[in-house]
Structure 1
Amino acid sequence: MDKRKEANLRVKRDITNTLFALMQKKSLSEITVTELVDGAGVARASFYRNYCSKEDVLVTLIRDVLEDFRGKITFGPDGFYSYDTVLLSFQYFRAFSGYILDLYHSGFVSVLLEELNRFHESVEGTMPSSSIQKYQLYMYIGALFNTAIEWLLKKDPTTPKEMADFFFPFIRGRQIGPFSRDIPGQR
């Protein structure tokens, strides 16, 4: 990687880390771009070369992580929603738990959910808007997202693999455990 790209990545990382540190002390609306660039030790022009707004810093981080995730997924016989992808999802939730919990506590976790929805839409491709099948996508990401958020909030020591082992049967339509009794037509 050339030195300019490395320097720009460092600038983006410093801005992002400074924003999250400031969000520990005050709301995003109270943070100024001036204190953000001063805290990051970068020029104001560097901020605006990379971002349109403070919110854009959050969205860019989420999109960068999702693109990294996209590069690591494999499409096997089960397609995108395989056990390996579920496991990788929980590994990413754990790896980025600090950022995720900061977004949650700052009231911006909905930004993450919206980006997850858009990411999964891009993976699935276009679907007719009249297709009821499109709701499976949102059911999947909602279940995964809410499960991961609760897991992180509770600081549960359960490993990503244990979470994937628990979660995967539900998305495969093999409801197990106490809930299976409540599903009409299931035995």
Structure 2
Amino acid sequence: MDKRVERTQKLLLQSLMMFNLKNKNFYELSIRDLCEEAGIARQTFYRNYLVKEDIIIRQISNVMSDFRSVLKQQSFNASGFIQLLIQFWKQNQETFALIEWAGISNEFIRQLANFNKLVMEQHKAFGKNSDYIANYYAGATYMFLKTFMEKDDFSKEAYAKGAAVYNQLTNQCKGLFEPLN
């Protein structure tokens, strides 16, 4: 990626995070305000994005890509998968906060559903009901992460307990890691 594009993306993302921390209403935030805070021209914004939500959507994609890279480096089961997912999104909680702030949870869920399909393919669990399964787990995972992020305890024990609760609720993510009958 071009260094200028990367710099622009970073500046705009940081500006969004700053406005979120200041409790600025996302829908009242103008492109002009965002560009002034980032120190870039509006033309530069429109060269990279159509709307301000696109900044967050691109960041979701970046985080999901990073998570895929982490998973490729190790083998995992349902418990390990959700623990890694919880830890990963905790490390990226600013992005998660932006998703909530901008009201674009549907985009996060869509990307997570696509990710779930990859997990299903990797574990040879892909079948005729895969879309339902991938979407179900994506929605459940989003709500689980939202609840988990609201808690103040981010100890190793909290991650393990959270993963245990999630796996109990989802029957060990059976549809993602092995075919459903």
TM-score of the two chains, using structure 1 as the length reference: 0.71
Pair 74,163 (structure 1): closer, same or farther in 2 beyond 3 Å: farther
Matches of 1:27 and 1:54 in 2, distance apart? Answer: 13
* Structure 2 runs not aligned, ≥5 long: 175-181
**Secondary structure of residue in 1 paired with 2:50:** coil
Higher fraction of helix: 2
Pair 158,11 (structure 1): closer, same or farther in 2 beyond 3 Å: same
Further displaced range: 34-43 or 96-105: 96-105
Q: For the Cα contact (< 8 Å) 2:59–2:95, is it kept in 1?
A: no
Q: For the Cα contact (< 8 Å) 1:15–1:37, is it kept in 2?
A: yes
Aligned residues: 166
**Secondary structure of residue in 2 paired with 1:155:** coil
Pair 133,119 (structure 1): closer, same or farther in 2 beyond 3 Å: closer
Matches of 2:15 and 2:112 in 1, distance apart? Answer: 24
Matches of 1:100 and 1:6 in 2, distance apart? Answer: 25
Q: For the Cα contact (< 8 Å) 2:117–2:130, is it kept in 1?
A: no
Shift of 1:135: 2.2
Q: For the Cα contact (< 8 Å) 2:12–2:35, is it kept in 1?
A: yes
Pair 31,76 (structure 1): closer, same or farther in 2 beyond 3 Å: closer
1:69-84 to structure 2, matched below 5 A, reads: 69-74=67-72, 82-84=78-80
Shift of 1:111: 2.9
**Secondary structure of residue in 1 paired with 2:2:** helix
The structure with the largest alpha-carbon Rg is 1
Matched, 1:113 2:112: no
Pair 99,173 (structure 1): closer, same or farther in 2 beyond 3 Å: closer
1:11-160 to structure 2, matched below 5 A, reads: 11-23=8-20, 24-74=22-72, 82-121=78-117, 123-124=119-120, 131-159=128-156, 160=159
Deviation digits for residues 44-86 of structure 1, max 9, x if unmatched? 23322321211111111111111111111138777xx643322
Name the structure 2 match of 1:168: 167
**Secondary structure of residue in 2 paired with 1:42:** coil
Matches of 1:114 and 1:27 in 2, distance apart? Answer: 24
Shift of 1:165: 4.0
Matches of 1:86 and 1:98 in 2, distance apart? Answer: 19
* Structure 1 runs not aligned, ≥5 long: 175-187
Pair 66,77 (structure 1): closer, same or farther in 2 beyond 3 Å: closer
Matches of 2:37 and 2:75 in 1, distance apart? Answer: 48
Q: For the Cα contact (< 8 Å) 2:12–2:38, is it kept in 1?
A: yes
Matches of 1:155 and 1:58 in 2, distance apart? Answer: 24
Matches of 1:173 and 1:11 in 2, distance apart? Answer: 39
